[in-house]
Structure 1
Amino acid sequence: MTETRPKRRYLTSGERHALAADLKTRYEAGASVRQLAEETGRSYGSVSGLLHLADTQMRPAVWPADRLTGDARATAKQAAADVYEAGHAIRCAADAIGRSWTYTRNLLVEADIKFRPRNSRCTASH
């Protein structure tokens, strides 16, 4: 059974601005949007909106811990390029290196690959 949140009443303008100021102070002290959402019982989007209301300078999103750098990135880029240049689709190259379509496409852009129209399909052997 899924847990449901209790319905909240709408905040007045003054309450919204006070909460936004409090969230801004906590965010600037190092709390993440997700932590603030959990602590306040509000959604991620609600907390993000309140932080923007308070003109908070947002930190950049954190990259996933499994991002590829250095030699590992160069190896994945070359492997994706090899699969794609052999006539297979980006999806096939993504499957071959174990990454998403978007991540793989970005690697191919870095490798200066000339893209074909988006009608090619994966074949069983790549």
Structure 2
Amino acid sequence: MTDLSTLRYTAEHEWLLIDGDTATVGITDYAAEKLGDVVYVDLPAAGTEVETGKVVGEIESTKSVGELFAPALGTVLEVNDAVVDSPDLVNSDPFGDGWLIRITLASADQVGLLSRDEYVALTAE
């Protein structure tokens, strides 16, 4: 299990595990719960350049369709094909096997990312 306090978060309910110049990205358990049963995930291809705050994918559930936003500037390094094949991983293990993409970060300066405590406070409102 990932130590959630080591992750960074966005106000759009995504998490990042930053390791050097690479970030693994997924959606939070809060977002997965609000979406309901995830049935389809559309992710950008490896090599796609992404810009902070811009839509890069889609997550469809039995309740709604949600957009996936790039949490940082960079290039998609890897896509989690297991999630594309089994979208329910987003619900069952959002902080583990349900990760979505890995990004090579263009900058170490990740403005606007939240700590776990800040994210918990945001979702409590």
- What's the TM-score, normalizing by structure 2? 0.20
Of Structure 1 and Structure 2, the greater strand share is in 2
Higher relative contact order (CA 8 A, sep 6+): 2
Of Structure 1 and Structure 2, the greater helix share is in 1
